[in-house]
Structures are given as structure tokens and as C-alpha cells.
Structure 1
Amino acid sequence: MSDLVIRPVQSKADRKRFVDLVWDVYKDDPHWVPPLKDEMLGLITPGKNPWFEHAEAAFWLAERGGRAVGRISAQVDRLVLEHMGEGIGNFGMLEIVDGETEAGPRLIATAEQWLRDRGMKTSLGPLSLSIWDEPGLLVQGFAQSPTAMMGHHRPSYQAIVEGAGYAKAKDLVTYELDIRIDMIPMIQRLIDAGNRSDKIRIRSVDKSRFDEEAHTILTLLNDAWSDNWGFVPLTESEIAYAGKKLKPIIYEDLVCIAEVKNEAGVFEPAAFMITIPDLNELTRDLNGELFPFGFIKLLWRLRKPRVKRMRVPLMGVAKKYQGGRLSAQLAFMMIERNRIASVGPYGASHGEFGWVLEDNQGMLSIAQLPGAEVNKTYRIYEKAL
């Protein structure tokens, strides 16, 4: 008889073991970047993460001989049910140590039963914990370290998930490109025309008005992404929470808002773009620990970060402006502005754009800049319960 035990995470100590497990899973993976433990604990703790205001989650550890060898989560989010469809539950945060063959199927079965008990008809994932955190399972791009806010997984997980009866629902892709390369003439002409227009202006955010600027950007995000597959709106609490987390890594010259003069002759927010230095380059050697000295090191590095890669985690054009020449014009104007800033004081040579839904033709046409290539693919799976 197997000595593998699947048990629920119930205590603070359990949550710590849940987070710490990934150090065992990826200890021999040179491309893994240790997450910040405080961030991970905050993500899965009700009362700290406002996601729990509209969702519930359960977490499990797989243990063999008292040692944690696997983990998983299952979630029911009222906003997913409202915006994606009734009966859709989620799983996520699946991790299994190398050589463990039994834990994966049993963890997945445990999460599925929890979803069935709550009336769910479909299991969709992995989402850790929502589409706004680390969505999808890495299925291509294992030989490159992840950028900030993106996941990294063992290649063996794909067979485990598919072996449990899951099929592809949607792929999310990221693009990498050499940002030292100038825009091609056709795109540059579009940018130059926008710069000459008296109906368009691109401005940097003002961190002295951070709460107001964050609300403007995240409200634009909710509008711009509202027709996308998998979209779940950020609540007011989540907007405030995200703003607080993003503030230390926001640099005014890397975040911009495009404004367009409306019919009343007033400039209104029409698009935004957030570029961040790849924080994984700055935190990798901290081994997940901010205290006692990691916090000081990180604060010092964030003062004037120098990185090889930049990442564009969020970008959007208000729905009323999507689908036409203006939408592409605003996007390329912001991209060029942030590209120049990234290469200059930050010393970056490459950028990562995404994630982007595999069938979002508008964003794909923008992401496919000269020299850009898909460097990672993350897959979201589904299964009827």
C-alpha cells in the first residue's frame, strides 16, 4: 500500500510548507528563479489577498514519509462564474518533485472532487490563483529563465495534466525581441504622424499622484481587455492592492498613458503601457528571502536598476478606439517611447512582450515587431468534470 498522503493546507505552518516546496522541486533547474516567499504567502492567505473577497480556494500537500512531494490548489471564483460561464472552476499551483509518479494524478483528482462538491462542471487551469497572477502551464521555452510575474514549470507536468484527461483550452504566448533595433520605416512613419498630431499626446505617469494614476490605468485595463477570452475584471480592492504592489517597481519614464482629444475637445485616457525591469534579475540571488538583508539589497537595486531584459506585462487600448488605425498608432507610439527609455538609462538589450492570447489578432500584430519571436508558450487546459 502506498504511503502517499494528500492532506489539506490548514495552518500557517502548512502554508509555509506549501510555498517552500518549490525549492525542492527546482533545486537542480538552472533556469528557475526563486520567488519572494512573502509575496507567495500573501497570495494564498485570505485577508491579505483581496481576490478572496470574491473567491474561495483550497490547497493540498502530497506527503510521503512526512516529506512534502507535491501540491495543488482548487478555486471557485464568483467573477469567473459571472464572466466565463456557470460551472467553471479552476485548479492551479501544481508542483511535484522529480521522480514522484503517484502524487500528480492524486492531487489533480483531489482538486477535481473539491470542485465537483461545489457544483462545478468544468475544471480550467492552471491558474495561480487567477488570470491576473500566473496563468497557464509552461509547455515551450524551458531553456530560458522566466521574467518577472511569469511562471516556470517542469517539462513533465504537461504529460501529467494531459494524462488526467485535460485538453488545451487556450495558449498564451510571450514575444522576445532585441529592443536595440529601430522600428521599420512603415511603423516609424505612423509614429511620426502621431507625434505631429494635435489630437494625441503620450505622457508619463506622475508618481506623486500614484493612486489616481494607478486607478486610471487599471480602469483602462478592465475596459480594454473586457472582450478577451478569460477576462475577469479587477475589483476596486484588487486595483488598490495591485497599485500598492506595483508602486516600488514603477518608473515614470517606463509607464505611459496615451490621451486622445474627444469630440468635446477634451483629452481623455485612451491607452496605456507598463514596462518594468526584469525584477527576476534583481531578486534571483536573494533565494526568496527579504529579511534580514534581502530587503535592503532589493531597495538599493531598485533605485537605479540595470538589467538585460525589460518586460511589458500590461498594455491596452480603450475599447472605443480598438480595431482601427488609431489603435495601432497609439500602441506603436508607446512602444517606441518605452523602447528608447529602456535601452538608455536601464541598459536593457532585450524585451519581453506578453502574455498575449494566441488568437488575439490585434495584439499579435503589435507584438510581432521586427525581430520578435515567440519565446514561451503557456497553456491553459480544461476538462469536463
Structure 2
Amino acid sequence: MLKSILVNSPETQKEFLEFPARLFRNEKNYIRPLDKDIEEIFNPNKNKFFRNGTCERFLFKNAENQTVGKVAVFVNPKYEQKLKTGGIGFFDCIDDQETANFIFDFCKNWLQERGMEAMDGPINFGERDKFWGLLIEGFHEPLYGMNFHAPYYQKLFENYGFQIYFNQLCYGRKVYDEVSQVFMNGHRMNAKNPNLKAVHWKKNQLEKFAHDFAEIYNKAWANHGEGKQIEAKKVLKMFQTMEPILDEHISWFIYENEKPIAMWINIPDLNQWFKYLNGKFGWIEKLKFLMAKFFIKNKKMVGLVFGIVPEWQRKGIDGFMIWEGTKHFRKTRNYTDYEMQWIGDFNPRMIKIAENLETKVTRKLATYRYIFDRNLPFERHKML
């Protein structure tokens, strides 16, 4: 018989972090996420979603007191859905369906007690930019902030009755591959406009770029719902945290008469350095990180955010931005590989941009949904 244990002590917090590292010790492509990145999600002083939501973590142990699974389960009122939908995330489990079913049943009961009608997972108690989705294809080294799962996780979810709410597609290409003619045509058309300019961000102007980022993001994503609005002060804090690893030459903004209208935000893939730290980031690991950053050339850049305000969409501004940026970082940087953070299959315009960039799908994740009333119809995420 399995028992659930609330994560509420230093010992249980440590086990929550250590269990997946043991589970995946023989997976050559597993990269342990930084402990601090996980713990900040569950710290009410760090995560704004605790202001209105609630979240708890649990370990699951067998009769021999061995950890066989873990999960976080939460209610986020800003996660707006047709049904009242809670979330589960940071799920890890041995390859055993009965164990997984016990965990899923536990989460279902926890959420029903709080008035929920469905659960999505594995998702994050926060924004979609980190630890969102179940890896189902492309079991390569995960990008920084991305989940890694064993292939058997998919059957654990689907055998229980979870259905794919939407797929999350990652696209990649070589930096020096030829840029699509579609983008080159867009660049040619917009390069004639004297009111447009392309600017790469600068560390000494983080506050300005944080406001520009928030303005573009909130306009471009306003129709998505599900907690998509973002505050400039939060962006600035994020930029300040990221400053040691920001590469000024690979993130770009487009302005029309000084007004921000588009952005293309990229960073080096931090996991190419963090994989040497075993999840820790104390002073010794920080020294290791600096040494790795100095001695190990990072050949991979990651696309985090691509946004265009509505009035400039479908006007070739994407091509203008991509070619201006590409010309620059080809001359100034040594990256050879580019991979985009996931795009939902409900977003055909972004998928079209990725395809026009002549990328290939590098990995697929899935956001699953389980409706508690099994007689209710299941609907996939609406198309944008």
C-alpha cells in the first residue's frame, strides 16, 4: 500500500529534488535542473501565483518506505478554462501503472475537494515558459527550463485516461542554413521603410527593454487568456536575474518611430553549462559555471519568445527582424544550432513562421487533460 507524504520539511524537500536524479541516473540525456529553480516555484515569497492560488507537493512511498513517485498539485484561479481546471506538475514515477494511478487518483481527489472539474498536466504552477508539458518525442538533452521524461511516462498518463489537450512543438535549424525566401521578401519590403529600425538589446538599458518587452508581449498575447498578461517590473527582475548569461547580440526588437512593435528573444542554452553542476548552484558551482562558460563554447542558442503586435502581423515584419538579427549574430557569434522553445499546435501562425524559417521538429511535448466527469465531452485547445 502506498502512502502520501506532504513536502513540508528540509528532508522531504531534498527527497523531492533527489528522486528524479536517482530515477534517471542511467539516462544519458537527462540534465538535472537547478534545485533553486524548482524551489523558487514553491516559495510563496518568490512565486506570485500563491497570492490567489494554492499548491502542495507530495512524495509517495511504498511499504518498504522507498520513494516511488512525486507530484505537485495546485489550483491557479488565473488559469482560465471552460471547466474549473487544476494542475499537476513535477510528476515523476517508477514504471508502474498502479503507482501512477494512485498518484493521479490522489491528485484528482485533492482537486475535487477544491471545486475543480478537470486537471491538466504536467504543467507548472506559474507561466508556461518553464517545466510545462510531457516529453513524448525527441528524448535529447532538455533545454534549460524544459521537462525531461522517460518514454514510459506517456503510457502512464494515457492509460489512466488523460487526453492530449494540445501538443507542444519545438523547432530547430542550423544557424548557417539558408534563410527562407519568404523571410527575405519580408525583409526586402520593410527595409524600405525609414520609420523602422532593428535594435539588439543592451545590458545597460534593461529597464527600457523590459518595458518594451511587456508592451509587445501583452498586445501580442492578449487574446490567449490563461494568465498571459505580464508586468514590466517582473520582466525587469527576470532580465536582471538573467544578466550574467544574456548575450546582447542575439535578442532583437523592432521599432516604428521608436514604438516597440516586435521582438525576438534568444539566449544561450544554459543547460550546456548547467549539466556539469548536478542541480546545485552554491559558490563552488558558481565557480564551476564561470569556468565552464569561459572554457566551453556554447554552440546552441534557444528562442524564448517571438512576438509581433497585432497591427504589424502578416506584414513581413518577422522576416525583417529575423534577417537583421541573423546577419548580425552570424558575424559576431559562434553559435551553430538554434532551437525554439515550444509552440502550441493551436497557434498556426507561429508554426508557419517556424516552418518558413525552414526548421524541423526537434521534440514534442504534450499538455494532457483529464475531465473528472467522464460523460462530459473532451475538447482540445481552441485554435488561435
Common fold, TM-score beyond 0.5? yes
Within a 5 Å distance, the mapping from 1:7-156 to structure 2 comes to: 7-64=5-62, 65-80=64-79, 83-85=80-82, 87-97=84-94, 99-130=95-126, 131-142=128-139, 144-156=140-152
**Is contact 1:50–1:237 with CA below 8 Å preserved after alignment?**
no
1:309-367 CA distance string (max 9 Å, x none): 21101111113323x22xxx222222233334444444221111231111312111111
Give the distance between the partners of 2:69 and 2:263, measured in 1 at CA.
Answer: 39
- Offset at residue 215 of structure 1 (A): 3.0
1:86-134 CA distance string (max 9 Å, x none): 511111111113x444321111111111110110111112112232322
Give the distance between the partners of 1:235 and 1:17, measured in 2 at CA.
Answer: 34
Aligned to 2:255: 259
1:158 and 2:154 equivalent?
A: yes
Give the distance between the partners of 2:83 and 2:235, measured in 1 at CA.
Answer: 25
**Is contact 1:63–1:70 with CA below 8 Å preserved after alignment?**
yes
The change in CA–CA distance for 1:366 and 1:290 in structure 2 (over 3 A counts) is same
* Structure 2 gap segments, 5+ residues each: 373-384
**Is contact 1:55–1:77 with CA below 8 Å preserved after alignment?**
yes
The change in CA–CA distance for 1:342 and 1:278 in structure 2 (over 3 A counts) is farther
Give the distance between the partners of 2:310 and 2:296, measured in 1 at CA.
Answer: 34
Q: What letter matches 2:86 in structure 1?
A: G
Question: Secondary structure of the equivalent of 2:191?
Answer: helix
> Alpha carbon RMSD of aligned pairs, Å?
2.2
Aligned to 2:349: 362
1:378 and 2:336 equivalent?
A: no
- Offset at residue 274 of structure 1 (A): 0.7
Give the distance between the partners of 1:207 and 1:61, measured in 2 at CA.
Answer: 41
1:308 and 2:277 equivalent?
A: no
TM-score by length of 2: 0.89
1:281-303 CA distance string (max 9 Å, x none): 11111111222421022234446
The change in CA–CA distance for 1:303 and 1:342 in structure 2 (over 3 A counts) is farther
Give the distance between the partners of 1:370 and 1:240, measured in 2 at CA.
Answer: 29
* Structure 1 gap segments, 5+ residues each: 262-266
**Is contact 1:332–1:366 with CA below 8 Å preserved after alignment?**
no
Give the distance between the partners of 2:291 and 2:339, measured in 1 at CA.
Answer: 24
The change in CA–CA distance for 1:54 and 1:306 in structure 2 (over 3 A counts) is farther
Give the distance between the partners of 1:209 and 1:304, measured in 2 at CA.
Answer: 28
- Offset at residue 77 of structure 1 (A): 0.8
- Offset at residue 39 of structure 1 (A): 1.5
Aligned to 2:377: none
Q: 1:170 aligns with which of 163, 166, 171?
A: 166
Further displaced range: 144-153 or 215-224:
215-224
Within a 5 Å distance, the mapping from 1:229-378 to structure 2 comes to: 230=226, 232-235=228-231, 238-261=234-257, 267-302=258-293, 306-322=297-313, 324-325=314-315, 329-369=316-356, 371-378=358-365
Q: What letter matches 1:157 in structure 2?
A: Y
Give the distance between the partners of 1:191 and 1:305, measured in 2 at CA.
Answer: 34
Within a 5 Å distance, the mapping from 1:197-212 to structure 2 comes to: 197-212=193-208
Aligned to 1:264: none
The change in CA–CA distance for 1:36 and 1:53 in structure 2 (over 3 A counts) is same
**Is contact 2:75–2:87 with CA below 8 Å preserved after alignment?**
yes
- Offset at residue 18 of structure 1 (A): 0.9
Question: Secondary structure of the equivalent of 1:368?
Answer: helix
Q: What letter matches 2:259 in structure 1?
A: E
Q: What letter matches 1:91 in structure 2?
A: I
1:193 and 2:180 equivalent?
A: no
Give the distance between the partners of 1:286 and 1:346, measured in 2 at CA.
Answer: 25
- Offset at residue 246 of structure 1 (A): 2.7
Question: Secondary structure of the equivalent of 2:188?
Answer: helix
Q: What letter matches 1:71 in structure 2?
A: K
Give the distance between the partners of 1:190 and 1:171, measured in 2 at CA.
Answer: 29
Question: Secondary structure of the equivalent of 1:127?
Answer: coil
**Is contact 2:253–2:263 with CA below 8 Å preserved after alignment?**
yes
Question: Could you tell me the percent identity over the aligned residues?
Answer: 20
**Is contact 2:180–2:358 with CA below 8 Å preserved after alignment?**
no
- Offset at residue 231 of structure 1 (A): 5.4
- Offset at residue 304 of structure 1 (A): 8.8
Question: How many residue pairs end up in the alignment?
Answer: 370
